[in-house]
């Protein structure tokens, strides 16, 4: 490759990066990469977001698995910034044959996640009580997968907080660097807390 070709390649890459930053949105991807789209790895972006947090973090997910792995960057940041306000919203549900009292299901979930949480400081943990309704017709699923950092940056993604979703599955998301959008998204969750549509998970 001749020097002129290298210069053209570098210039094209610089224009791509500039356009991506100017748009305020960036593709975040898990799975095989292609030469067509320019994207960043989900696990890498998650870790960078957590390490950049200065004041607040909102995390919402449907499924949590391998909490000691996927939440390790967040737990490290919470240890580094003692005043960091972290809220975690998760799905705590029952299958169709589970007739246990909801307190037993909640205790089991809190104990399991607490045992695997990778740090001494834990986030405020919330769940939607409708997910535990005995009548299946009254149930709802907490399915939103987002991360909001400092009312400045937001990731909206199909990826759950599992090792598979962040490193192996086919998952797509968008990283939005827009303070107004991030603030609106965080306020949606805060509104659910204030209106008591979600509850603190006891024992965590």
Residue 90 has pLDDT above 80, yes or no: yes
In this predicted structure, what is the pLDDT of residue 37?
66
Q: What is the pTM of this model?
A: 0.87
Q: Tens digits of per-residue pLDDT, 27-71?
A: 999 998 776 667 889 999 999 999 999 999 999 999 999 999 999
Lowest-confidence pick of 31-35, 136-140, 141-145, 192-196: 31-35
- Alpha-carbon span 57 to 53, nearest angstrom: 7
Angle, helix 72-80 to helix 42-52, in steps of 10 degrees: 10
Query: Does the structure show a pLDDT above 80 at 139?
Result: yes
Asked if residue 89 has pLDDT above 80, the reply is yes
Assign domain 24-200 to its CATH superfamily.
Endonuclease Chain A (3.30.870.10)
Phi, psi of 30 (to 5 degrees): -120, 135
């Amino acid at each position: 490759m001749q020097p002129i070709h290298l210069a053209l390649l570098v210039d094209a890459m610089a224009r791509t990066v500039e356009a991506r930053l100017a748009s305020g949105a960036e593709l975040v991807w898990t799975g095989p990469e292609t030469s067509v789209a320019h994207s960043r790895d989900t696990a890498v972006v998650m870790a960078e977001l957590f390490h950049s947090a200065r004041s607040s973090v909102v995390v919402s997910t449907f499924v949590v698995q391998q909490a000691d792995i996927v939440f390790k960057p967040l737990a490290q940041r919470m240890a580094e910034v003692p005043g960091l306000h972290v809220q975690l919203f998760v799905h705590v549900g029952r299958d169709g044959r589970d007739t246990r009292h909801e307190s037993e299901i909640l205790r089991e979930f809190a104990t399991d996640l607490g045992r695997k949480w990778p740090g001494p400081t834990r986030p405020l943990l919330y769940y939607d009580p409708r997910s535990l309704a005995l009548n299946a017709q009254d149930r709802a699923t907490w399915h939103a997968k987002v991360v909001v950092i400092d009312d400045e940056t937001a990731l909206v993604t199909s990826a759950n907080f599992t090792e598979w979703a962040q490193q192996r599955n086919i998952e797509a998301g968008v990283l939005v660097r827009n303070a107004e959008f991030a603030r609106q998204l965080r306020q949606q969750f805060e509104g659910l807390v204030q209106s008591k549509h979600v509850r603190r998970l006891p024992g965590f």
